[in-house]
């Protein structure tokens, strides 16, 4: 007997899931991976049962937040690719990535599990590499960026600058360093113009 066709979630269930993901991001970014699931449901204004219906385990919630962040960064790159200044678009996307790392730092313990999930790692690397290549290529085509920088180079710099800091205020420091790094990536013609 064939399985019944799956149907789209009800609108209220989809809204609840989105609220839970947004709340989880906020709670984990502020309180770390040890922040309680009760705090997430409270922040979302929903019961703990609703949280468990959508995310039966803490790891399922962490992975869903992570995937959502990756998708949002990829979508942001698409939107920014239409901006008039390719260098500014790249800068805005890099800053959004620093915020993403802040969320990941809050979920570091759980993401160790995700790091061993080869499918999740491959998925996020592919999505973010494509997004970075779009913005880097556009800036390069406009003559605003040095030609030798790759998405992997950009990620290495971002991750290194973010992970090297673990004290309060690290984001401001990482953003300053990323600005210096991005200024160094500007093509000589873009620097003088």
DSSP-assigned states of every residue in 61-112: HHHHHHHHHHHHHHHHHHHHTTSS-HHHHHHHHHHHHHHHHHHHHHTHHHHH
Mean pLDDT of 145-171: 82
Query: What is the distance of C-alpha 22 from the center of its chain?
Result: 13
Give the Cα separation of 142 and 44 in Å (integer).
43
6-20, 45-59, 139-153: range with lowest mean pLDDT:
6-20
Task: Tell me the whole-structure pTM to 2 decimals.
Answer: 0.78
What tens digit of pLDDT does each residue of 30-68 get?
766 667 899 999 999 999 999 999 999 888 898 898 889
Q: Residues spanned by CATH 1.10.10 within the chain?
A: 1-56
Residue 29 binned pLDDT confidence (cut-offs 50, 70, 90): confident
CATH number for the domain formed by residue range(s) 1-56: 1.10.10
Please, where in the chain does CATH 1.10.357.10 lie?
63-192
pLDDT digits (tens, 9 = 90+) for 80-129: 998 878 989 999 999 998 877 766 666 665 555 556 778 888 888 899 99
Higher pLDDT, residue 163 or 152: 152
The CATH number for 63-192, chosen from 3.30.1370.100, 3.50.50.60, 1.10.357.10, 3.30.465.10, is 1.10.357.10
**Nearest partner of 58 among 107, 11, 1, 101, judged by Cα:** 107
Asked if 158 contacts 179 with a C-beta cutoff of 8 angstroms, the reply is: no
Model pLDDT, residue 169: 76
Is pLDDT at 192 greater than 50 in this prediction?
no
């Amino acid at each position: 007997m064939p399985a019944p066709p799956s149907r789209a979630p009800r609108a209220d269930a989809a809204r609840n899931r989105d609220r839970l993901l947004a709340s989880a991001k906020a709670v984990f970014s502020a309180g770390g991976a040890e922040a309680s699931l009760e705090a997430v449901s409270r922040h979302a204004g929903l019961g703990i049962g609703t949280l468990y219906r959508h995310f039966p385990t803490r790891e399922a919630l962490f992975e869903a937040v992570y995937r959502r962040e990756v998708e949002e960064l990829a979508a942001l790159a698409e939107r920014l690719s239409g901006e008039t200044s390719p260098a500014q678009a790249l800068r805005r996307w890099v800053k959004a990535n620093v915020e993403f790392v802040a969320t990941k730092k809050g979920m570091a313990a759980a993401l160790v599990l995700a790091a061993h999930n080869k499918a999740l790692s491959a998925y996020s690397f592919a999505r973010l590499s494509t997004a970075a290549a779009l913005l880097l290529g556009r800036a390069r085509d406009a003559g605003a960026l040095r030609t030798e920088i790759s998405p992997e180079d950009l990620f290495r710099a971002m991750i290194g600058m973010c992970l090297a800091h673990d004290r309060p205020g690290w984001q401001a420091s990482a953003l300053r360093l990323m600005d210096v790094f991005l200024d160094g990536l500007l093509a000589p013609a873009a620097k003088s113009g």
